[in-house]
A and B are shown apart, each in its own frame.
Chain A
Amino acid sequence: MWHPGHPAPEQCEGCTWVTTQVGELSYLHSRDITFAVFCQGPYDESSRYRDFMAWDMPWYSAQDSLGVLLAPPRRAGMMHLVCYLREGDRVFETYWTTLRGVEAMDYSYALMDLTVYGRQEAWEDSPPGWPQRGHLTRTDGGAPDWPRESAWPGGRPTAQWPRLAACRSDDLGNRP
């Protein structure tokens, strides 16, 4: 989801988590599949977030069309993956998912699941004594400590920290 008028640290850690892992689009393109982000917020401030995060996938604002693009039972404000089919100048919706369905975009969780301590999240069924650090994908700092995460709006989405370390501007131009 997008938080209009909020600075970069207060943007959604979950959307940031999965979106930042979509990098290579050529394999999708080679199967005639287009990937694009339809951001639920305004174009200007959200595209500056895209630039801060050094993302290069196509980025559009769907703010004015959420009523039809996310018609019930979908809920605007939640992240969704939606699939469409084009035939000439006709467009069809063929699939959608939300919540943990968006893990389809993610490889970090998939790799964590192969490691001995897993995701280290509190809900996981792990042996006694296994580390469980929480579940949020935001931290109070970056490498090397990645200090314990805090609840929104504390800290930042984790992937913002290396961007700041690379001196990228997180100014979204949406603050007085």
Chain B
Amino acid sequence: MSSENHSQPHDTINDTAMPTVVDRATFQAELDRLRVREKAHTREGDAIAAARRRLPMIEMDPAISLVGPHGPLTLLDAFEGRT
């Protein structure tokens, strides 16, 4: 039983269902339909990111303490000089 379980993932792959085989034109027509949704998803992601850039913010205490390889440091230090 345990050996069956052990090998199951690969056996499952070999025995598993597969997509229907079609000619390239049929395949491309289906992919083109999916692409319309993918493009809409991409544009919605862009719109969400645009809204994220318009969020307000909260001021933090820059002295919040962390511990690093050289001992204590602050949240401000963790920026390594970047913004």
Interface of B is mostly: mixed
Is A77 in contact with chain B by the CB < 8 A criterion?
Answer: no
Which chain A residue has the least Cβ–Cβ distance from B7? Answer: A145
In the bound complex, residues from chain B placing their C-beta under 8 Å from that of A69 are: 64, 75
In the bound complex, residues from chain B placing their C-beta under 8 Å from that of A145 are: 6-7, 9-10
Which of the residues B9, B12, B83 comes within 8 Å of A146, measured between beta carbons?
A: B9
Q: How far is the CA of A108 from the CA of B13 in the complex (A)?
A: 19
Residues of A within 8 Å of B, CB-based: how many?
Answer: 41
Is B65 in contact with chain A by the CB < 8 A criterion?
Answer: yes
CB of A116 within 8 A of CB of B55, answer no
A140 CB to closest chain B CB, in angstroms? 9
Is A6 in contact with chain B by the CB < 8 A criterion?
Answer: no
Which chain A residue has the least Cβ–Cβ distance from B52? Answer: A95
CB of A86 within 8 A of CB of B5, answer no
**Known pairs A128-B17, A129-B16; A60 contacts B66 (CB<8 A):** yes
16 residue pairs A–B, Cβ–Cβ below 8 Å? A34-B79, A38-B66, A38-B78, A58-B68, A58-B78, A60-B68, A65-B65, A84-B60, A84-B75, A86-B62, A86-B82, A90-B59, A117-B13, A129-B16, A131-B12, A148-B8
Q: Which residues of A contact B (CB under 8 A)?
A: 29, 32-34, 36, 38, 43, 47, 58-65, 68-69, 84-87, 89-95, 116-117, 127-131, 133, 145-148
